[in-house]
Structures are given as structure tokens and as C-alpha cells.
């Protein structure tokens, strides 16, 4: 982020993997940062940055959130809070809608009331699971993806009123050191350490796998675009790697980069519902590209 006037940033989702890394980066740059968190959310992911941010424990009401934003008066909001449930049950419907849709509307409304103009929000390419390349029409593959699309529609509505300018960044697969999520690379690392066989799907699905540091750089760049008026209204971009690679290729690259071996039993697990075999290709964030190769990222991931 290079825009000189972005000295105060508010972050939602700062207790998550990507949000915590973004928060740490903003703090390291010397910016004033406030984070919105649930009353019971742990701050472990923030590390030392937890003591250097203004912590705003949200009770769920729009009035309290509006008060937070007005009092802190940020130049920009980075909205990464989300409830991810890949395959939902009946009990998941209400929290998915509340966390992903209603909370996004609250964030936008609070920004309007406080006259905070710039919003960078996290989306997912799952919003376009079955869309043809370049086709902006959403085709969500899960209720989670549908709620993320609804959230972006709400953001676009507020932008169309002229009350704010926004950029939605649709994220593919992410990875990096310290990732607490139950992702494939974590399972791969654990299987290699234990000498176990890893049961996996066919491995034919193609993925854009992007290092968390590159994703953080994209959010900072998008923020600078909004602050400099390079982008106005609402825009939606993707954050792809250089090219998609198969899961089998990822395992091969991981083994070469780390010097470790693991036995993978391909095809012993079925694809998950809504599995994306070929990723949707949208419009890449202008002025950004990933810098960290899979080889470099995998070695650092394994060494951490």
C-alpha cells in the first residue's frame, strides 16, 4: 500500500489466516489498525500484533458497529470476515446468512454513516464455480459461495449509490506457514512426517494455489487503488497464480521442494460435492501478480 493518506485501517476477519497476516503487515508498516472481532474470538493468529491494534469486540448490532467505525474513523476497511462451511446442514443456514450476508450489510451501513469511502472485501472464486471463462455471471457451487455472492451484491449496491468505492478480491486456494486450517498441504506434511499413506481424490483437479503473502500484497494494492481514485464504484477481480496446476503436480512439486517423500493413494477418496475441476478465470487485479513460486513457498511452508 503506497497511498499516503491510508494511515488508519479497520480490519474484519483479523483472527483468520489471511486476515491475521494482513493485519500484521499493516501494523508492521506503522499504520493505526482497529480489528472487529466476536466477543469470544481468540487473537492467537495475530501474534505480537494483537497488542498493537485497537480491539473492537462486536456484539452483533449495527448500532454498535456504526459507533466503532465512526469513533475510529478509518480511511479504509478491509472486510475479510467470513463463515466457511463447504457442505452445509440445516443448522448452518442461519449462521451462514448472518455472518456472510447480514454482517457485510452492517459493515457497509456503518461505513456510510461514518463517511468512510474505501472498502476492499474478500470473495471466493466458488461464486463462479461453473461459469465459462471471463463470464461474470455467478454460478455458486455451495450455500457458502451463494452467501458470498449475496454479500458482494450488497457491496455493489452501496457502491452504486455513490456512498463508497469497493473492490472485491475473489480468492482461489491459499497456503503459507502457520496455516491452522485443515488443508491438503497440512495433511500432506503430516503424512510425510508420520510415514503414512495419504488417501486422496483423483488428483486431476486444477488449482490456482497462491501464497498468503501474495494475497496480502493484493489487498494492500487494491486499497491503494481506491485511495488514489484509480478505482471508483465497484470492481471485482481475481487473484490467480501464474497458471493452474493439478493436485498431482502440486504433490510432485512439494516433494522436490522439501526433499521429502509421501505415498499418496490417488482415487481412494471421492471428490467433494461441487468440486471444481477447472478453475474459473476472471479478471486479474490490475497491477498485481504473485511473486512467490510454489517451490519457494513450499520450502518455507515445510521449514516453518
| Cα–Cα distance for residue pair 215/125, rounded to 1 Å | 14
| Cα–Cα distance for residue pair 109/229, rounded to 1 Å | 21
What crossing angle do the helices spanning 247-258 and 294-303 adopt, rounded to 10°?
60
Give the pLDDT score at 83. 96
Give the pLDDT score at 21. 97
Q: What are the DSSP E strand ranges found in 200-275?
A: 206-207, 209-211, 234-239, 245-246, 263-265
All three cell numbers of 269, joined, read 477418496
Give the pLDDT score at 300. 83
Residues across the chain: 304
Strands 173-175 and 263-265: unpaired
| Cα–Cα distance for residue pair 36/32, rounded to 1 Å | 14
The domain spans of the chain are 8-173+211-239, 175-208+242-279+290-303
| Cα–Cα distance for residue pair 157/161, rounded to 1 Å | 7
What kind of fold does domain 8-173+211-239 have according to CATH?
A: Rossmann fold (3.40.50)
- Residues 6 or more apart in contact with residue 234 via CB below 8 angstroms: 155, 156, 159, 160, 165, 166, 167, 168
What kind of fold does domain 175-208+242-279+290-303 have according to CATH?
A: UDP-galactose 4-epimerase; domain 1 (3.90.25)
Give the pLDDT score at 302. 61
Give the pLDDT score at 289. 97
For 95, the 3-state DSSP assignment is helix
For 233, the 3-state DSSP assignment is coil
Give the pLDDT score at 5. 60
Provide block-wise average pLDDT over 10 residues at a time, the chain (304 residues): 73 97 97 96 93 96 97 97 95 98 98 97 95 90 96 98 96 94 91 95 95 98 95 96 95 95 94 85 97 93 62
Amino acid at each position: 500500500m503506497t497511498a499516503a493518506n491510508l494511515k488508519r485501517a479497520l480490519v474484519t476477519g483479523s483472527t483468520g489466516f489471511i486476515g491475521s497476516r494482513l493485519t500484521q503487515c499493516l501494523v508492521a508498516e506503522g499504520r493505526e489498525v482497529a480489528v472487529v472481532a466476536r466477543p469470544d474470538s481468540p487473537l492467537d493468529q495475530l501474534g505480537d500484533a494483537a497488542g498493537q491494534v485497537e480491539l473492537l469486540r462486536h456484539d452483533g448490532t449495527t448500532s454498535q458497529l456504526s459507533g466503532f467505525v465512526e469513533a475510529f474513523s478509518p480511511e479504509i476497511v478491509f472486510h475479510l470476515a467470513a463463515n466457511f462451511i463447504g457442505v452445509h446442514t440445516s443448522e448452518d443456514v442461519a449462521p451462514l446468512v448472518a455472518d456472510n450476508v447480514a454482517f457485510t450489510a452492517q459493515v457497509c451501513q456503518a461505513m456510510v454513516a461514518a463517511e468512510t469511502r474505501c472498502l476492499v472485501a474478500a470473495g471466493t472464486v466458488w461464486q463462479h464455480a461453473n461459469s465459462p471463462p471471463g463470464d461474470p455471471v455467478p454460478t455458486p457451487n455451495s450455500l457458502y459461495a451463494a452467501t458470498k455472492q449475496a454479500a458482494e451484491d450488497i457491496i455493489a449496491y452501496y457502491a452504486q449509490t455513490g456512498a463508497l468505492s469497493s473492490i472485491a478480491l475473489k480468492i482461489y486456494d491459499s497456503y503459507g506457514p502457520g496455516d491452522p486450517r485443515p488443508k491438503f498441504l497440512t495433511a500432506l506434511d503430516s503424512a510425510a512426517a508420520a510415514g503414512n499413506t495419504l488417501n486422496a481424490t483423483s488428483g486431476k483437479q486444477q488449482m490456482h494455489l497462491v501464497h498468503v503473502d501474495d494475497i496480502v500484497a493484493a489487498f494492500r494494492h487494491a486499497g491503494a487503488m481506491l485511495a488514489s481514485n484509480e478505482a471508483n464504484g465497484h470492481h471485482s477481480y481475481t487473484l490467480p497464480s501464474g497458471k493452474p496446476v493439478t493436485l498431482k503436480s502440486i504433490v510432485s512439486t512439494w516433494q522436490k521442494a522439501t526433499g521429502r517423500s509421501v505415498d499418496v493413494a490417488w482415487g481412494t477418496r471421492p471428490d467433494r460435492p461441487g468440486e471444481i475441476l477447472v478453475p474459473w478465470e476472471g479478471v486479474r487485479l490490475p497491477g498485481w501478480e504473485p511473486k512467490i513460486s510454489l517451490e519457494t513457498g513450499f520450502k518455507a511452508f515445510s521449514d516453518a
